[in-house]
Amino acid sequence: MDYIFPVLIIILAMGLAAWWIRHALMRRDNDTQALLLLQNQMQAGLTQTTQQAEGLQKHLREELRLLHEQVARALTDANRTLGDRLDNTAKVIGDVRERLGQMDEASKRIFDVGRNIAELQQTLQAPKLRGGFGEYLLTELLAQILPEASYALQYKFKGGETVDAVIKLSLGMAAIDAKFPLENFKRSVNAEDELERAAAGKQFVRDVKKHIDDIAKKYIRTDEGTLDFAMMYIPAENVYYGIIVRNEGSDEDALFQYALKRRVIPVSPNSFFAYLQTILLGLRGLRVEESAREIMDNLARLKKELDSFTEDFRVIGQHLGNAQKRYEEADKRLGRVEVKIEQMSGFSNAVEGEAPGGKLPSH
């Protein structure tokens, strides 16, 4: 753009020169020398203009070459960047397709699980089957947490009643019932209007209270070694929290207090797990206490044996002291005997060495 203005000036000059030549030619009567001079000037101007145009053309070619290289380099970089982005985009699309495939498989599995749950729900429609399923869950939970010797399943009392499970503790057995009435609870949940829901809810409360009374009557037997309370296992968390804990200000709110007054503790799978963990800690503490008591008994027996050994050792030491004294006395007596024997031996030698008729040595 910087060279356009000079080019325009040159073109304008050439136009003026052409006009001037034409005007001069029309003036033939003018001086021929002036015309020749003008022609020479025009020739020189044309030569100079040609040279400038060639220089400008050369410069423009160089600028175009540099611009072409820059554009080519920019296009190459853009193609490379675009290629990288396309590769990343293709990779992302591939990952998305893979994730979609996984989600499709997961959806199919979820659908299968839902269908299996629906089938299981239909299977457990009968109260007996639901009770059996609750007993199964209770059994699995006990087996996973407590030692096998710490609980018993289907424990039978003397009167013939059978409780689902008992936990054996140091103070007695804790009875656990896993049969829970859910029919009217399901009716209250599936009710289409408030009246039906309220009626089913009240009936459910009556069912639960009757079940609590049965547990207190059948399974709290302190004369047969049970504790003065029993546990009511509720196999569904939504029943436990929705009816016993969360519905404050309604008839259902009294269920928990009603159960506690009859020494029946309602437990759900989660809360029962916490109870079992506490019981497990108690059992471990009991084992530690029994081990400590056994260690103390062993220490007492060891101390008694040590006292007896100390007395025997003292008596033996006394006997050894007496023997030492007698040994020293006997040694002294032996020394005196040896002296006397030596004296007697010297006297005998003196007698044997005296000539016949000689005198006996005088004492």
Higher pLDDT, 259 or 305: 259
Q: Which two tokens stand for residue 176?
A: 């656990």
* Confidence at residue 218, expressed as pLDDT on a 0 to 100 scale: 92
Domain borders along the chain are 4-82, 129-288
DSSP letters for 286-343: HHHHHHHHHHHHHHHHHHHHHHHHHHHHHHHHHHHHHHHHHHHHHHHHHHHHHHHHHH
Q: Is the pLDDT of residue 86 over 90?
A: no
Number of neighbouring beta carbons within 10 Å of residue 188: 21
Tens digits of per-residue pLDDT, 316-342?
A: 878 777 877 887 787 788 777 777 777
**Residue labelled with tokens 């920019």:** 74
Q: Is the pLDDT of residue 182 over 90?
A: no
Q: In the chain, pLDDT over 70 holds for what percent of residues?
A: 66
Q: Are 54 and 18 in contact (CB under 8 A)?
A: no
Q: Is the pLDDT of residue 213 over 90?
A: yes
Tens digits of per-residue pLDDT, 98-113?
A: 777 776 676 566 556 5
Q: Are 201 and 194 in contact (CB under 8 A)?
A: no
Q: Is the pLDDT of residue 160 over 70?
A: yes
Q: Is the pLDDT of residue 360 over 60?
A: no
Distance CA 151, CA 144 (A): 12
pLDDT category of residue 221 using cuts at 50, 70 and 90: very high
Distance CA 322, CA 311 (A): 16
Higher pLDDT, 116 or 144: 144
Q: Are 183 and 252 in contact (CB under 8 A)?
A: no
Higher pLDDT, 119 or 214: 214
* Confidence at residue 358, expressed as pLDDT on a 0 to 100 scale: 47
The mean-pLDDT minimum among 72-81, 114-123, 125-134 falls in: 114-123
Q: Is the pLDDT of residue 215 over 90?
A: yes
Q: What share of the chain is helix, strand, coil (3-state, %, to 5)?
A: 75, 10, 15
Tens digits of per-residue pLDDT, 254-264?
A: 788 888 889 99
* Confidence at residue 106, expressed as pLDDT on a 0 to 100 scale: 64
pTM above 0.85? no
